Amino acid sequence: MEHEIADPVGTGRDRILITGAGGQLGRALQEEFAADGALALTRADWDVTLPPPDVQPELVLHAAAWTDVDGAEEDPQGAAAVNVGGTRHAAELGAPLVYYSTDYVFDGAKREPYVESDPPSPLSAYGRTKLHGEGAAGESAWIVRTSGLFGEHGGNFVKTMLRLAKERDEVSVVDDQRTSPTYVRHLAAATRELLDRPHGVWHLAAAGDCTWADFAEAIFEEAGVGVRVRRVSSTELGRPAARPAYSVLRSEKHAPELPHWRDGLRACLDRLR
């Protein structure tokens, strides 16, 4: 596991460890920090529910997580083992940590952008484990709340819509959940900028906001496929976990700014082509 890193992010730190390196954000972080020689650990390299490996990184980018929102309702303890216990283990490495949290720590009742000082009130087991994970990240951590991640790798909404477009003329998508779909490469770049800011909670999400139905229409439009979007309610879809009706994140403390979600979508589709 020993890994020499000559000159990392230009901040004088010389070792970066990325957890969850096989996930969509983990892959983007690997690309963003490739020139810094980051040590990228997939689940096979380190299952974060187990104690940490014997390495002394100077920065941990903790992207490993249980992200199955509906599955967490059935197995909240399994989700907590990863999202809380795994984060505690990542903090035990003793290095400053970037912990990725979620808009699902909010209940969506506010109906205007959530800022860092708004009180969390998660609706789902997943949201609760991610909120407890924020506490487990410790004092020397940047807590990055983000939303609706998508990218070229792994499973996500964009790739699901493109797959469905090959199979159907119409897809049903919820139109009563408003958020800011965020491109993982934009989040990875913003993470680098954040390292110059103080520890604490930061909201880092794409500019702009939309419902998932709006996002689906934009995906089909940008991809040039003629699929209709049937706008449905969350009740109609009937998924196990409750999700906030409104979870747009903005910063009240000058967080690094991300491009608009539609720019992220175009960049992602360009790379998928």
Ligand X SMILES: NC(=O)c1ccc[n+]([C@@H]2O[C@H](COP(=O)([O-])OP(=O)(O)OC[C@H]3O[C@@H](n4cnc5c(N)ncnc54)[C@H](OP(=O)(O)O)[C@@H]3O)[C@@H](O)[C@H]2O)c1
Give residues in contact with ligand X (CB under 6 A): 20, 22-26, 43, 47-49, 63-67, 82, 86, 100, 102, 130, 146-149, 154
Active site residue 126: yes
> Of 14 and 113, which CB lies nearer to ligand X in the complex structure?
113
The b/e string for 11-45 (b: 16+ C-beta within 10 A; e otherwise) is: eebbbbbbbbbbbbbbbbbbbbbeebebbbbbbee
Contact 156, 104 (CB under 8 A): no
Cβ count near 126 (within 10 Å): 27
> Of 14 and 81, which CB lies nearer to ligand X in the complex structure?
81
> Of 101 and 170, which CB lies nearer to ligand X in the complex structure?
101
Q: How far apart are alpha carbons 7 and 168 in whole angstroms?
A: 49
Q: Minimum distance from CB of 6 to ligand X (Å)?
A: 27
Contact 194, 156 (CB under 8 A): no
Q: Minimum distance from CB of 136 to ligand X (Å)?
A: 12
Element (H, E) at 268: helix 261-272
Cα dihedral 257→137→26→13 (10° resolution):
80
Candidate list 99, 100, 114, 126, residue with the active-site label: 126
Closest residue by beta carbon to ligand X: 23
Q: Minimum distance from CB of 247 to ligand X (Å)?
A: 9
> Of 63 and 268, which CB lies nearer to ligand X in the complex structure?
63
Q: Minimum distance from CB of 13 to ligand X (Å)?
A: 21
Cβ count near 115 (within 10 Å): 15
Phi, psi of 157 (to 5 degrees): -60, -40
Active-site positions? 126
